[in-house]
């Protein structure tokens, strides 16, 4: 059985409606109904412009405006009945508008096409997601700043290859993620500014012969300007790709942090305690407290990366201007946006709630010969040795301490002088982790004073 409703929407070109299989593959209403508010906003702006330019009567524009508001109310109230036979949100709204106001509804589509309509709707939706993305990043950065400020001078081990490297401060480690998410914030703002051009009025691909005012609709919808080329306007999905690529980089940052939280909250590390709000238990092992929120954030990266790759594959072979392939753009972006915002919110919650275990951090900071570099630097700075010689001497002292089952500060002066006779008692002043971190005063270093300076800088940026 076929339904000719959608055929009527297409016009007289087709004598019969699509069969069930064609209807199923062609329809997008199951997912693009998420753009209902954006679709109605675009139609209201378009109708107002049509009246202002004399293309339709003011009375028709007013009827359209009132009808669209009625439909928006129905959608927001969950009373709107969507039809797959009408394919998409645009035709569903237009068909309902005709039921509500009658003949004036047919004038709404003057001077536009579904091609520029869907591009406009999708841009408006993605722009809203960029704004939400920005808000989520700012909230997470504030949470990280709170942790950094509280522990600006708390010592902890810094790692390379997940092996103890040099002592750093908790605040310094938190500020590393502030920098990461700060770059994400910069990318979001940059992409959002670049995408803010209106496709509305590009029509199917060549513009329109009606005397439309594209500047008026662009301004009404909060765009900076109309898109300058009608072919590009309807075929462009760079804004969606930039959202996905920006989301992918940020999700990668979230995943790296999530991995550290999984490690840090383990019984082997005990660097942090995650709150019960973001942990779960085991059905069989009563002692377990699992960092499930962090693990799920780590996993969601795959969905976001996948969406980015999928849309790139959709777009890579398309000639200008519009092809139906582009209907496959939205589900990928919708899913990525949902999972990104969930991951950002979960990470912000974990960061705000987590408790750094200061004593455990400090104990770990002094293990693993973490001040070996400080010893080598002292040999260069005080004894004037070439760094490679100092590196060799320090390596020998590390080997000695390892055989003794102790750390570098536990060696006696006599033992140290057996490797190099000019070493003095002063060397012990650089071997403590507190001395180590306090000495790292180079710009961007781990010294508490530098950490606090960076916290102040970021508070100024976000103010």
3-state secondary structure the chain: CCCCHHHHHHCCCCCCCCCHHHHHHHCCHHHHHHHHHHHHHHHHHHHHHHHHCCCCCHHHHHHHHHHHHHHHHHHHCCCCCCCHHHCCHHHHHHHHHHHHHCHHHHHCCCCCCHHHHHHHHHHHHHHHHHHHHHHHHHHHHHHHHHHHHHCCCCEEEEEECCEEEEEEEHHHHHHHHHHHHHHHHHHHHHHHHHHCEECCCCCCCCCCCCCCCHHHHHHHCCCCEECCCHHHHHHCCHHHHHHHHHHHHHHHHHHHHHHHHHHHCCCCCCCEECCHHHCECCCCCCCCCECHHHHHHHHHHHHHHHHHHHHHHHHCCCCCCCCHHHHHHHHHHHHHHHHHHHHHHHHHHHHHHCEECHHHHHHHHCCCCCCHHHHHHHHHHHHCCCHHHHHHHHHHHHHHHHHHCCCHHHCCHHHHHCCCCCCCHHHHHCCCHHHHHHHCCCCCCCCHHHHHHHHHHHHHHHC
Mean pLDDT of 85-91: 88
Angle at 168 between CA 136 and CA 363, to 5 degrees: 110
pLDDT score recorded for residue 104: 95
pLDDT of residue 367: 78
Q: What per-residue confidence (pLDDT) applies to 316? A: 95
Q: What is the mean pLDDT of residues 22-40?
A: 85
Among 50-54, 94-98, 286-290, whose mean pLDDT is lowest? Answer: 286-290
| 218, two tokens | 């662009």
List the one residue out of 173, 330, 187, 159 whose CA is nearest residue 251: 187
CA distance 68 to 40: 6
Catalytic residue among 161, 209, 283, 442: 161
CA atoms within 13 A on the CB side of 457: 12
407-434: average pLDDT: 88
Cα-flanking dihedrals φ and ψ of residue 169, to 5°? Answer: -105, 150
For residue 382, the tally of other CB atoms under 10 A from its CB is 14
Percentage of the chain exceeding pLDDT 90: 73
Q: Is 282 designated active site?
A: yes
pLDDT classification of 2: cutoffs 50, 70, 90: very low
Q: What is the per-residue pLDDT across 112-141, written as a single tens digit (0 to 9) for each?
A: 999 999 999 999 999 999 999 999 999 999
- Residue tagged active-site, from 59, 266, 282, 367: 282
Handedness of CA 404, 410, 415, 421 (dihedral sign): positive
Q: Are 9 and 84 in contact (CB under 8 A)?
A: no
Active site residue 172: no
3-state secondary structure 145-211: HHHHHHCCCCEEEEEECCEEEEEEEHHHHHHHHHHHHHHHHHHHHHHHHHHCEECCCCCCCCCCCCC
pLDDT for the residue 31: 85
CA 108-109-115 angle, to 5 degrees, is 140
Residue 375 to residues 235, 303, 364, 369, Cα–Cα distance (Å): 61, 46, 18, 10
Q: What is the pLDDT of residue 146?
A: 97
Task: Look at residue 246 and tell me whether its pLDDT is greater than 90.
Answer: yes
How much is the pLDDT for 12?
56
How far does CA 339 lie from the centroid of its chain? 10
Position 247 pLDDT exceeds 50: yes
Decide which of 244 and 7 is more confident: 244
* pLDDT, tens digit, 9 for 90 and up, residues 193-202: 999 999 999 9
What does pLDDT average to over the chain?
91
Nearest of 414, 366, 371 to residue 379 by alpha carbon: 371
Query: Strand 155-160 to strand 163-169: parallel, antiparallel, or no bridges (unpaired)?
Result: antiparallel
Nearest Cα residue to 407 out of 364, 377, 437: 364
Find all residues with CB under 8 Å of 72, minimum gap 6, and list them.
Answer: 36, 37, 40
pLDDT (0 to 100) of residue 227 = 98
The residues pairing with 178 across neighbouring beta strands, listed in sequence order, are none
pTM, two decimals, is 0.88
Mutual orientation of helices 448-462 and 170-195 as an angle, nearest 10°?
Answer: 30
pLDDT in tens, 334-381: 999 999 999 999 999 999 999 999 999 999 987 767 778 888 988 999
């Amino acid at each position: 059985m076929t339904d000719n409703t959608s055929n009527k929407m297409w016009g007289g070109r087709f004598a019969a409606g699509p069969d069930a299989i064609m209807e199923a593959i062609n329809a997008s209403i199951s997912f693009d109904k998420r753009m209902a508010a954006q679709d109605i906003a675009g139609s209201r702006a378009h109708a107002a412009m049509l009246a202002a330019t004399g293309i339709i009567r003011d009375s028709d524009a007013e009827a359209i405006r009132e009808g669209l508001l009625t439909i928006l109310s129905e959608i927001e109230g969950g009373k709107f009945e969507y039809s797959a036979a009408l394919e998409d949100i645009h035709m569903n709204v237009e068909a309902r508008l005709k039921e509500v106001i009658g003949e004036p509804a047919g004038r709404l589509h003057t001077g536009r096409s579904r091609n520029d309509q869907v591009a406009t709707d999708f841009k408006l939706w993605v722009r809203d997601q960029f704004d939400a993305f920005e808000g989520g990043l700012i909230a997470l950065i504030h949470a990280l700043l709170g942790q950094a400020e509280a522990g600006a001078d708390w010592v902890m081990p810094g790692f390379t290859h997940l092996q103890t490297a040099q002592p750093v401060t908790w605040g310094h480690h938190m500020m590393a993620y502030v920098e990461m998410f700060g770059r994400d914030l910069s990318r979001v703002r940059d992409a959002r500014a670049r995408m803010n051009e209106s496709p509305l009025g590009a029509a199917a691909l060549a513009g329109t012969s009606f005397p439309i005012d594209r500047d008026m609709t662009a301004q009404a919808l909060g765009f900076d300007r109309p898109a300058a080329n009608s072919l590009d306007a309807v075929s462009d999905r760079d804004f969606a790709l930039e959202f996905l690529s920006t989301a992918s980089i940020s999700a990668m940052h979230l995943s790296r942090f999530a991995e550290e939280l999984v490690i840090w909250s383990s019984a082997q590390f005990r660097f942090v305690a995650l709150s019960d709000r973001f942990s779960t238990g085991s059905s069989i092992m009563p002692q377990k407290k699992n960092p499930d929120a962090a693990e799920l954030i780590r996993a969601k990266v795959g969905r976001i990366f996948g969406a980015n790759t999928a849309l790139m594959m959709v777009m890579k072979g398309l000639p200008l201007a519009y092809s139906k392939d582009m209907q496959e753009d939205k589900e990928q972006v919708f899913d990525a946006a949902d999972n990104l915002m969930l991951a950002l919110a979960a990470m912000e919650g974990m960061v705000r709630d987590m408790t750094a275990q200061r004593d455990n951090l400090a104990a770990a900071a002094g293990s693993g010969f973490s001040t070996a570099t400080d010893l080598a630097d002292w040999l260069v700075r005080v004894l004037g040795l070439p760094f490679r010689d100092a590196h060799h001497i320090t390596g020998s002292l590390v080997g000695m301490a390892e055989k003794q089952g102790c750390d570098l500060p536990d060696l006696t002066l006599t033992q140290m002088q057996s490797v190099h006779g000019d070493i003095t008692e002063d060397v012990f002043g650089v071997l403590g982790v507190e001395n180590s971190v306090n000495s790292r005063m180079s710009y961007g270093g781990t010294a508490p004073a530098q950490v606090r300076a960076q916290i102040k800088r970021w508070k100024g940026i976000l103010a």
